[in-house]
């Protein structure tokens, strides 16, 4: 890929990569480091990476780094976001926040798979390439993660 | 086929967007027959994460790369320079060769001055230039001037010749009684003028071979100009003056020729191609 392809990647994929890394690692500073490192690796390997494969390459690097970071630092610690004030329905917490918590129930790998699936819309085979897993593994892990998330949502709804 | 055993897999695949149209239709039909499963399906649909687009990577510009400034390594240019220099040299040499080849070439083997001319008169040479004879200047000198075709390489290239003679033919044709006897006569001088005692010859520009491009008529004109004697004021022997005149004559011709070559070069552009690169030299 050329310089302009690289810069296009920065403009297009820095934000999605940051969101992915942030959700994976649960830490903004770590996520920024992951993004920066991913683009640096892409720049160094730009001769070997085709422009149309650059996104997958970035997520591959970011996935590995995020998982490694998480494993190094231990369990994820999401920063509690302030409650919505003046919510029209305070008894029904925001689904998004519940999902954030549900996501923290998953292991780092499953979380990354769900993020790649939902955030980026990758297919099973693409996720398999990025995570270096088999397609079957991806499918099994993803289905397992969905069940966990669904059960968490249902349990929260039941409590509330 | 969707069953009560595998419907969950179908629902999850649906949430993952992994069902084809037929499978999706099958699932919808199955749920329609089992409305109690609709809430479960809805719960699975809620597990689909939506990216928070407000979350952006700040200072994206820091990740951008600039095009590196184009630098050309000195090593390459050095070799280009050497190549261009060599080709320019060869080109100049060819130009010069072609130019000189179309003209008469006079080779001055030696410009000599005989210190002892006064004591050793040289008759034949005096005959050769009657104008100077009138002034009673004895001719010591001499330049062996030849048409190129008549040049004898052995003589022209012999650096140390100091014995000079004049052709018999010239001696016969150049009579003192004639007015301007040399004007229409081609210069075919001679190889060599004779001096009685080689040891008495002092060579001013020893063994120096000068190549100049001159024509016979030009030589004659130059001879006439010599009458003004630009070196008259010099406190040296007449013989030395004559030597200086001849030297001056030759240098003038050479300068003239160099100027003409330079003028030719000014109108010439040399183009060298190195692969795809093209270098044009304008003079």
DSSP 8-class letter at B149:
G
Residues 33-62 of A with CB under 8 A from B: 35-36, 39, 43
CB-CB under 8 Å, A146 with B44: yes
From chain B, the residues in CB contact with A16 under 8 A are 51
For residue A42, give every residue at least 6 positions away whose Cβ sits within 8 Å of its Cβ, in sequence order, or none: A6, A9, A49, A54, A57, A58, A61
pLDDT of B30 strictly over 80: yes
- Running DSSP on this structure, what letter comes out for residue A133? -
Which structure tokens are listed for A138? 């991806």
Terminal alpha carbon distance of chain B: 88
Cβ contacts (< 8 Å) between B16 and chain A: which residues? 117, 124, 142, 146
pLDDT at residue B138, as a whole number: 47
The residue to which tokens 């925001």 are assigned: A94
List the single residue in B with minimal CA-CA distance to A44: B65
Query: Is the confidence at residue B117, as pLDDT, over 90?
Result: no
Task: Name the more confident of A154 and B107.
Answer: A154
Q: What percent of chain B stands above pLDDT 90?
A: 18
CB A106 within 8 A of CB A147: no
Top-confidence residue, B199 or B92: B92
Pairing of strands B210-213, B269-274: unpaired
Q: What is the pLDDT of residue B197?
A: 47
Could you tell me the pLDDT band of residue B272, with boundaries at 50, 70 and 90? confident
First to last CA, chain A: 52
Rounded alpha-carbon distances, angstroms, from residue A31 to A78, A107, B56: 13, 17, 11
Helices (H), chain B: 7-15, 21-33, 38-46, 74-101, 123-128, 130-134, 153-156, 168-173, 216-225, 238-266
Chain B residues within 8 A of A154 when measuring between CB atoms: 43
Contact residues for B76 (Cβ-Cβ < 8 A; gap 6+): none
Provide the mean pLDDT of chain B: 67
Chain A residues whose beta carbon lies within 8 Å of the beta carbon of residue B12: 142-143, 146-147
- B100-113 mean pLDDT: 50
Alpha carbon of B68 to those of A39, A74, B65, B84: distances in Å?
17, 41, 9, 28
How far apart are alpha carbons A93 and A83 in whole angstroms? Answer: 9
Do residues A37 and A25 touch, judged by C-beta distance below 8 A? no
Q: Position of tokens 């060869």?
A: B90
Whole-angstrom CA distances from B26 to B1, B41, B43 are 7, 14, 19
What pLDDT, on the 0 to 100 scale, is given for residue B200?
Answer: 44
Spell out the domain ranges in chain A.
3-159
For this complex, say whether ipTM is above 0.85: no
Mutate to test the interface with B, among A1, A8, A14 (most CBs of B within 10 A): A14
pLDDT tens track for B193-246:
444 444 444 444 444 444 444 444 444 444 445 456 677 777 788 888 888 888
The CA-CA-CA angle for residues A45, A49, A54, to 5°, reads 105
pLDDT value of position A114: 94
What CA–CA distance (Å, rounded) separates A118 from A149? 13
More confident: B9 or B153: B9
- For B26, the 3-state DSSP assignment is helix
Judged by a CB distance cut-off of 8 A, whether residue B76 touches chain A is: no
- CB neighbourhood size of B62 (10 A): 11
pLDDT tens string, chain A, 160 residues long: the values are 888 899 999 999 999 999 999 988 888 888 999 999 999 999 999 999 998 899 999 999 999 998 887 777 765 555 444 433 333 344 445 777 888 888 888 988 999 999 999 999 999 999 999 999 999 999 999 999 999 999 998 887 767 6
pLDDT of residue B113: 46
Q: Which of B10, B57, B60, B69 to mutate: most A Cβ within 10 Å?
A: B57
Distance CA B111, CA B133 (A): 19
Question: Which CATH topology does A3-159 take?
Answer: Butyryl-CoA Dehydrogenase, subunit A; domain 3 (1.20.140)
CB-based burial label for B131 (10 Å; 0-12, 13-18, 19+): middle
């Amino acid at each position: 890929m050329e310089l302009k392809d690289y810069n296009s990647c920065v403009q297009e994929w820095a934000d999605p990569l940051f969101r992915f890394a942030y959700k994976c690692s649960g830490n903004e500073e770590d996520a920024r480091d992951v993004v920066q490192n991913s683009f640096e690796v892409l720049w160094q390997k730009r001769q070997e990476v085709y422009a149309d494969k650059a996104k997958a390459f970035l997520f591959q690097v970011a996935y590995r780094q995020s998982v490694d970071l998480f494993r190094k630092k231990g369990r994820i610690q999401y920063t509690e976001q302030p409650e919505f004030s003046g919510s029209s329905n305070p008894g029904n917490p925001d689904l998004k926040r519940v999902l954030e918590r549900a996501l923290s129930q998953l292991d780092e790998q499953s979380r990354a798979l769900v993020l790649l699936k939902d955030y980026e819309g990758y297919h099973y085979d693409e996720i398999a390439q990025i995570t270096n897993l088999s397609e079957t593994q991806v499918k099994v892990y993803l289905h397992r993660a969905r069940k966990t998330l669904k059960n968490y949502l249902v349990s929260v709804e039941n409590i509330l | 086929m969707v069953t009560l055993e595998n419907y969950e897999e179908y629902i999850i695949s649906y949430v993952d967007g992994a069902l084809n149209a037929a499978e999706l239709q099958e699932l919808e039909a199955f749920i329609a027959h089992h409305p109690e499963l609709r809430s479960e399906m809805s719960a699975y649909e809620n597990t689909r994460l939506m990216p928070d687009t407000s979350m952006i990577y700040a200072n994206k510009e820091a990740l951008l790369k600039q095009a590196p400034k184009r630098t050309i390594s000195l090593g390459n240019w050095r070799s280009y320079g050497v190549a261009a220099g060599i080709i320019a040299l060869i080109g100049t040499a060819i130009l010069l060769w072609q130019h000189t080849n179309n003209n008469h070439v006079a080779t001055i083997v030696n410009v000599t001055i005989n210190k002892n001319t006064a004591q050793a008169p040289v008759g034949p040479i005096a005959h050769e230039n009657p104008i100077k004879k009138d002034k009673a200047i004895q001719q010591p000198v001499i330049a062996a001037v030849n048409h190129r075709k008549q040049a004898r390489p052995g003589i022209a290239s012999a650096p140390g010749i100091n014995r000079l003679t004049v052709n018999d033919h010239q001696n016969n044709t150049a009579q003192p009684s004639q007015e301007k006897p040399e004007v229409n006569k081609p210069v075919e001088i001679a190889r060599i003028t004779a001096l009685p005692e080689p040891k008495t010859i002092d060579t001013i520009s020893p063994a120096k071979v000068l190549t100049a491009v001159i024509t016979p008529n030009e030589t004659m004109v130059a001879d006439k100009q010599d009458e003004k004697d630009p070196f008259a004021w010099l406190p040296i022997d007449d013989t030395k003056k004559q030597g200086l005149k001849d030297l001056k004559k030759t240098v003038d011709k050479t300068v003239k020729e160099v100027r003409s070559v330079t003028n030719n070069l000014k109108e010439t552009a040399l183009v060298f191609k190195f692969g795809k690169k093209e270098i044009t030299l304008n003079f």
